A and B are shown apart, each in its own frame.
Chain A
Amino acid sequence: MIRNHILAMLKYAPAAAYVGLVYVFIFLPVVVLVLFSFQDASLPIPPFQGPSLRWYKAIFNDFRIMDALGNSLLVGVVSAALSCLLGFLAAYGLARYRIRAAGMVQWLLVAPLSVSYLIIGMGLLITFKTMGIPKSLFAVIIGHVVINLPLAFAIIYSQMGEHQANIERAARDLGAAEWQVLLLVSLPLLWPALMASFFLSFTLSWDEFIIALLVSRFDVTLPVEIWSLLRSGLNPKTNAVGSVVFIVSIVFLAVMEVVVFGRRRSK
């Protein structure tokens, strides 16, 4: 019995070691970053001294970092909400009405997913310049809608298939007006997809750097602020800010897990 057990474990040992290595490769940099944010010295390099919260205190007292944090939250929430709204409208139109060249429209909507952020950023920069839109947070929001709308559209559209169309038909058949169909049937059914696209869009906007760098000037988002911090050399403060960014992302993922997938599991 016990021998068999050990043999079975040995059989899986190489696989387990491989998986372990992959995780170390992925997470070690994050662990190091978070660990040295608690460093009680002026350089984030070994040996580790501490733990200490002095660098966290420092960033919470740094109004530039706090401003950037607020800006990032604002850009994230507004651009995610806009992406979901526009994505929903596009998906509803394409899924519920016969549209000329629907395949083409759909392809154009998701095409930005395959374009690099650098190209999108440069394109936006030139376009904004010709249109006279100044570099600003507003411009960053537009940029993030450009990259997140395709994603939100794809997620929502995938949930609006023929089965949901039939459920909406059933509601109409039972006497529901269009606004009642939308409010009582379509939106509740799409809620998980809407939440998923909102949280995903927010997370992507939250740590997007290139577009934010290119189209902003005085008010900047957190990744841009971190970048300017890094230019003045390594400092545990940057580790502390990085950890905050990481924690916010994790919290959002956790909330999404509970809100979106928790509901599905309880079914």
Chain B
Amino acid sequence: MSKLVEIKGISKTFGETTALADINLAIEEGQFFALVGPSGSGKTTLLHILGGFTEPTSGQVLIAGRRVTHLPAAKRPTASMFQDYALFPHMSVRANVCFGLVMRKVPKDERLARAKAALDMVGLSGMSERRTHQLSGGQQQRVALARALVVEPKVLLLDEPLGALDLNLRRQMQEELIHIQKQMGTTFVHVTHDQEEAMSIADVIAVMNQGRIEDVGPPERVYLKPRTRFTATFMGASNMFEGRVTGRSGGQIQVETAFGRLAVPGEAEMEATVHLSIRPEQIAAGEVNLVGRLTLGKLRVQKVSFFGTYHRCQGRHLNSDLPMTIRLPQNESAQIGEELTISVARDDIVLLTR
């Protein structure tokens, strides 16, 4: 695989506010890439810079080795799928899909054949004569997808396209996006604020916060071994504890925490303040005596909620009074006031120095 999109030192300021600060990213050909972050993190601005709708204040964008930083959207090998679909309301579904081909002066026969293939692919075969307002939200979505893909872009940019759909339709569209992406092999860059969506559809995730990239990597790595505190808390629930480094030896450090002294894998300066993150589902309740597990003491349960696939227990750690959240299996619950012995696998503790 080769680097298809290269973002080099991109910054963008709007007046006094910095929307993007020195972004560097490489997206490989055929990748399903997700930009995820809270609103205002700069992910949409970055997508607009890729699409040619916004010019960066500084930095370069390369697509397939070519500098496109100052090229208008019309001349870029990208196509976009917009949040509000932005279909042409005065045209039929077919005319919508054909628009990009007409602009590229594709002959009529070929145009119609390609439009038909694109509509077949998104499952709208019989709808080509309809007006866009006669379609449901999900169908409009598919037209937008067909309209963007029919011009065979090198990169498809998706700006929170699933935001307006209800949960079931959203899951279904996620499946279809993955399917279509694998089938066509087009590089997708997908912006979303939904971490689960990002993890379930993307090959690589970039987590953004306040105009910076916090973390880039495959979903498993980003979720299980986040590089920053922001990533740990943004990509799912997390128990975060402060600690002080009191010793280091052979790839391990000793951290003094409210639970006592913990030895965790990683590197840090002596006496530095670090954070430890543990996912709620990685904490087990009950007397477990397995090699490599650390006992964290006792948790007094204060609140139990049922989420279908698991129980969420919120409570406080007995010695330190720190708030903690753990997950209990579907068939195990806890009583309020109950004290649970909790433990965690040593390798699941994530050391965060940033």
Point out residues on A near B: beta carbons under 8 Å.
Answer: 163, 166-167, 169-177, 180, 184-185, 188-189, 267
Q: B88 to A180, Cβ gap below 8 A?
A: no
The answer to whether B147 has its CB under 8 Å from any CB of chain A is: yes
Among A166, A173, A185, A189, the residue within 8 A (CB) of B79 is A173
Among A166, A169, A174, A188, the residue within 8 A (CB) of B147 is A174
B99 contacts across to A, CB distance below 8 A: 171, 174, 176, 184
The answer to whether B104 has its CB under 8 Å from any CB of chain A is: yes
Q: A169 to B88, Cβ gap below 8 A?
A: no
Q: Please judge, given known A-B contacts A188-B90, A267-B131, whether A166 and B73 are in contact too, CB under 8 Å.
A: no
Q: List 28 A-B contacts (CB under 8 A).
A: A163-B84, A166-B82, A166-B83, A166-B84, A167-B86, A167-B89, A169-B86, A170-B80, A170-B88, A171-B88, A172-B73, A172-B74, A173-B53, A173-B73, A173-B74, A173-B148, A174-B99, A174-B100, A174-B103, A174-B147, A174-B151, A175-B100, A175-B103, A176-B103, A185-B88, A189-B89, A189-B90, A267-B131
Residue from A171, A174, A267 whose CB has the most chain B CB atoms within 10 Å: A174
Point out residues on B near A: beta carbons under 8 Å.
Answer: 51-53, 72-75, 78-80, 82-84, 86-90, 99-100, 103-104, 131, 133, 147-148, 151
Among B73, B75, B133, the residue within 8 A (CB) of A267 is B133
Residue from B79, B88, B133, B148 whose CB has the most chain A CB atoms within 10 Å: B88
| Least CB distance, B87 to chain A, in whole angstroms | 7
Q: A172 to B72, Cβ gap below 8 A?
A: yes
A173 contacts across to B, CB distance below 8 A: 51-53, 73-74, 78-80, 148
Given A174-B99, A267-B133, output 5 extra A-B contacts at Cβ < 8 Å: A174-B74, A175-B74, A175-B151, A176-B103, A177-B74
**A237→B10 CA distance, assembly (Å):** 76
**A176→B130 CA distance, assembly (Å):** 23
**A172→B72 CA distance, assembly (Å):** 8
Q: B86 to A170, Cβ gap below 8 A?
A: yes
**A180→B100 CA distance, assembly (Å):** 12
| Least CB distance, A101 to chain B, in whole angstroms | 15
The chain A residue sitting closest to B159, CB to CB, is A166
| Least CB distance, B340 to chain A, in whole angstroms | 51
**A256→B328 CA distance, assembly (Å):** 67
**A185→B90 CA distance, assembly (Å):** 8
**A174→B86 CA distance, assembly (Å):** 12
**A167→B87 CA distance, assembly (Å):** 6
Among B74, B80, B84, B148, the residue within 8 A (CB) of A176 is B74
| Least CB distance, A210 to chain B, in whole angstroms | 40
Q: B74 to A166, Cβ gap below 8 A?
A: no
**A192→B103 CA distance, assembly (Å):** 25
**A180→B104 CA distance, assembly (Å):** 12
**A169→B84 CA distance, assembly (Å):** 12
B89 contacts across to A, CB distance below 8 A: 167, 189, 267
| Least CB distance, A55 to chain B, in whole angstroms | 47
Residue from A173, A180, A189 whose CB has the most chain B CB atoms within 10 Å: A173
Among B72, B79, B131, B133, the residue within 8 A (CB) of A174 is B79
Q: A175 to B82, Cβ gap below 8 A?
A: no
| Least CB distance, A168 to chain B, in whole angstroms | 8
| Least CB distance, B151 to chain A, in whole angstroms | 6
Residue from B80, B83, B87 whose CB has the most chain A CB atoms within 10 Å: B80
A176 contacts across to B, CB distance below 8 A: 74, 99, 103
**A175→B90 CA distance, assembly (Å):** 18
B88 contacts across to A, CB distance below 8 A: 167, 170-171, 185
Q: B103 to A180, Cβ gap below 8 A?
A: yes
**A140→B83 CA distance, assembly (Å):** 48
A177 contacts across to B, CB distance below 8 A: 74
The chain B residue sitting closest to A181, CB to CB, is B74
| Least CB distance, A49 to chain B, in whole angstroms | 55
The chain B residue sitting closest to A191, CB to CB, is B90
A172 contacts across to B, CB distance below 8 A: 72-74
A163 contacts across to B, CB distance below 8 A: 84, 86
**A197→B284 CA distance, assembly (Å):** 69
A171 contacts across to B, CB distance below 8 A: 88, 99
A174 contacts across to B, CB distance below 8 A: 74, 79, 99-100, 103, 147-148, 151
6 A-B pairs with least C-beta separation: A174-B100, A175-B103, A170-B86, A166-B86, A188-B90, A167-B86
**A166→B87 CA distance, assembly (Å):** 9
Among A170, A175, A184, A267, the residue within 8 A (CB) of B104 is A175
**A66→B73 CA distance, assembly (Å):** 55
B52 contacts across to A, CB distance below 8 A: 173
| Least CB distance, B234 to chain A, in whole angstroms | 28
**A233→B274 CA distance, assembly (Å):** 98
**A193→B83 CA distance, assembly (Å):** 25
B147 contacts across to A, CB distance below 8 A: 170, 174
| Least CB distance, A237 to chain B, in whole angstroms | 47
The chain A residue sitting closest to B105, CB to CB, is A175
Q: B103 to A170, Cβ gap below 8 A?
A: no
The chain B residue sitting closest to A188, CB to CB, is B90
B79 contacts across to A, CB distance below 8 A: 173-174
